[in-house]
Structure formats: C-alpha cells, structure tokens
Structure 1
Amino acid sequence: MEMLSAVRRSSVGIGIFAIVTAGLIAITQVSTKSRISHNEREQQARALYEIVPKDSIDNDLLEDTFSFVAPELQGSEQPANAYLARRNGVIETVILPVVAPDGYSGKINFIIGIHRDGSVAGLRVLAHKETPGLGDKVDLKKSDWVLSFNGERKGGRNDSSWAVIKDGGRFDQFTGATITPRAIVNAAGRAIDYFQRHKTELLGDSPKKVSQESS
C-alpha cells in the first residue's frame, strides 16, 4: 500500500510538473511570437520611411495599404500588402513587397517604392541569407549599393540597360558575387513592369484590390 501511495504521489507530481512546464512553454511561445511580430513591424516601418520620409507625406504608411495578388512578384498566389504614400490626399508613391527567388543562398525579400512618374523612390532589403562579406552588401548596413536605384527609371519591359553591368546593364555588381545583385535588379525590374501595367488601379483615389492580370 505504501508503495502504491508513493507511486500515486509521484504520478501526481509528474503530472503537475508537466502541466506547469507546458504552460510556461506556451506563455514563452506567445510572448516570443508577439515580440518577433513587434520587431518585424518596427523594421518594416523603418524601411518604409527610409524610402518615403515621414515628413514628406500626410498619411500613415503602415495603415494605408491595399491587398494584391502578383505571383510574378511574390512567387505565390497568396495576397500581399502594398503601401500607399499620399500627399494632400493624392497617392504619390506605391511601395511594393517583392521576393527575388534566385538569390545565391535563397529568397531575398525587399520592398521597392515607385513614384507616380515611374521613377524609383528607393529599395530596401528586408530579409536574406546571402554570404557575409559578399552578397550581404545588398543590406544598407553593409553598403550603399541599394541607393543606386534611387531616381532610376526603366524604359519599358525590354530595357536592356536594366541589368547588372556584367549582363550589359547599368547597375554595379559585387566583386566575386554577381548572382545576388542580379536577382534583385531583375526582380525590381519586374516590379516596375507590374506598376506600369497596373498604374491606373495603383494610383486610384482610394485603395483597391489588384489581382494578377490575365495572361
């Protein structure tokens, strides 16, 4: 009987320990997820306002968004959110999220701002796994390469100059690392093409849902 009682007490203790442990893990996961989400939002806000300075517009970029579906930019049919920059109520710049699928070490996530006149407001890389010291120069913390997009325009879908220098274009590549900048230049070009095709909808008086155009 004493042994059975001891076993029961041990079982109860183990059960309580398991419940407490599971609860702590759940709380940690929720807390961590919330913190990660907050940090991602802050990073996103910094990148958005680096492209379009806060004092140059009269709306909140994080709140003024629209949903669109563009597999050619996102690599999937999942909706993504783009951001509208307004001045005096007029949409002056659209910031599109883009995924370059062909980076050296995988996907490269970035945003590109395009002004009403078709010129590039700016480009910022949000996430990548490129090689430190080589491909990671796409990060503004590592080099000012992304600033070379500022003010650039693409002269139509067949503009051969919208490419890295090694491919006959105007954008510098990195010594020993051409794949990474090529991936971003090409993906940025696709974003500009998308903007030009959907310019009327994107620059409308109010946010509209933009779907993939029929092929």
Structure 2
Amino acid sequence: MRKAIEKNAKLLAIFAIACTALVAFVDFLTKDTIARQQQQNLIKSLAEVVDPSSHTNNMSESCILLNDESIGETPQKTYLGYYNEQPSAIAMTITAPDGYNGNITLLVGINIEGTITGLRTLSHQETPGLGDKIEKRKSNWVLSFNGRSLESEDDPQWAVKKDGGTFDQFTGATITPRAIVNASKRAIIYFKKHKDTIFDQQKSCQEN
C-alpha cells in the first residue's frame, strides 16, 4: 500500500513538472507573437487619436511616463509625436476614477495647440447597454471630442448638457459621460501647463 502511494506521488510529481515545462514552452513560443500583436494594437489606437500625417516619427516608440494625480493615481503612458523633429502632438493615457463602476482608462490625442484630435476608451467596467456607449464600436459619442479645445480651466462648455455644458449625456447614464468629459478636460489642462517639459523628458516607459 505504501509503495503504491509513493509511486502515485512520484507520478503526480512527474506530471506536474511536465505540465509546468509545457506551459513554459508554450509561453516561450507565443511571447513574441503576443508582443507583436500588442504593438500592432497600440499603433492602431494611436492612429485613431492622432492623424498619422501630423507626425513623422513612430509614436509607439516615443513613450514617456507622466506622474500627476490630475491624470491618474499611477504613472500614465504618453506617446509623443514629432513632425520633422518638432513637437506636434501627444497621445496621453488618462484615468477617469469616477466612472459609474470604477476607473475608466482613456487615450486622448492632443495637438501642439492644445486641441483634441481624438479620444478612445481603452478599458472600463461600465454597464452594458448604458455606459458602454463610450466605446467607439458601440456609438460615435467619443467623436464629439474631436476638434475641442479649452478656452479656460472653468470653461462652462466642458460639461454634459445636464450640467450646462455642450456634451450629450446618455439616456439613463449621466455619470459615465460626465467622467469622460472631466478627464478629457484635465488632460488638456495638464498638457497646456506642462507642454514644454513633456517633450523634454527622456523617452522611456519603464517604471522604476
């Protein structure tokens, strides 16, 4: 009986080692493929918020981390665009902490003049059929940010219509669009305040 138990234990150990080795091998084989896919998705997202004709560099390879509570509790990745080596645009990730169901992560394109060139939702947990209209595949609402700029930090236009602004809210869901509008406004304010230093930072998205 004891020998049978020991034998089974050894077989289980061998099986566990074999499974671990197989998982590691599959991970090794697919790691490069996953990395390439992630890079392609990033390039696609950047092109949706910043017109590729507005920069001559590869924005996906010109990344910095911005650390400021106004744009997120954690460092936010920002991609820099240059046209013939002159700063032309950024694509900034920013977190809206006040979504209906928690954090909403956005990618906001802003040109050198401080005008939004595009906005996309990267991640959220908003209610399907209501708050998820912040996804481009669900509605064109995010396109209403294109061409928007900020005259002053207390610009009354930067609010949903229910709050006296110019942005539509969703039927049955005001909290979600309000969070997006406020986050986008903070992105422009941050960019205008720190435009010069943003482009002077060393290019790296590796956290310390």
| 8 Å contact from structure 1 (residues 82, 95) kept in 2 | yes
* Residue type of the alignment partner of 1:66: I
**Mapping 1:156-171, distance limit 5 Å:** 156-171=152-167
1:201 aligns with 2:187: no
- Secondary structure class of the residue paired with 2:171: coil
Greater Rg by CA: 1
1:115 to 101, 111, 115: 111
Alignment of 1:182 onto 2:183: no
How has the CA–CA distance of structure 1 residues 103 and 34 changed in structure 2, closer, same or farther, with 3 Å as cutoff?
A: farther
Counterpart pick for 1:52 among 50, 53, 71: 50
| Cα offsets for 1:76-98 (capped at 9, x unmatched) | 3xx33211111121111111110
Q: Is 64-73 or 109-118 further displaced after alignment?
A: 64-73
- How far apart in 2 are the matches of 1:48 and 1:122? 9
Q: 2 CA distance for matches of 1:30 and 1:133?
A: 39
Task: Report % sequence identity.
Answer: 42
Give yes or no for the alignment of 1:104 onto 2:104.
no
Match of 2:63 in 1: 65
Change (3 A) 1:133 1:111: same
Cα distance, 1:56–1:158 mapped onto 2, change above 3 Å:
closer
Cα pair 2:50 2:110 within 8 Å, conserved: no
2: CA distance, partners of 1:137 / 1:23:
43
- Specify the alignment match of 1:22 in structure 2: 20
State the aligned residue count: 203
Deviation of 1:128 after TM superposition, in Å, equals 0.9
Q: 1:30 to 1:189 in 2, by over 3 A?
A: farther
Distance in 2 (CA, whole Å) between partners of 1:75 and 1:10 is 50
| 1:92 partnered with 2:88 | yes
Q: Counterpart in 2 of 1:136?
A: 132
* Paired residues of 1:163 and 1:182 also in contact (CA < 8 A): yes
- Mark the CA change 1:15 to 1:98 in structure 2 (over 3 Å): closer, same or farther: same
| TM-fit CA distance, 1:41 | 3.6
Distance 2:92 2:17 in 1: 45
Unmatched segments (≥5 aa) in structure 1? 210-215
Residues 168 and 131 (structure 1), Cα distance of their counterparts in 2 relative to 1, 3 Å cut: same
SS across alignment from 1:200: helix
Partners in 1 of 2:56 and 2:117 — Cα distance? 17
Structure 2 letter corresponding to 1:196: K
Q: What are structure 2's unaligned runs of at least 5 residues?
A: 204-208
| Cα displacement string for residues 146-181 of structure 1 (whole angstroms, at most 9, x for unaligned residues) | 110111111111112111000000111111111110
Question: Helix, strand or coil: the match of 2:70?
Answer: helix
Deviation at 1:196, TM superposition (A): 1.2
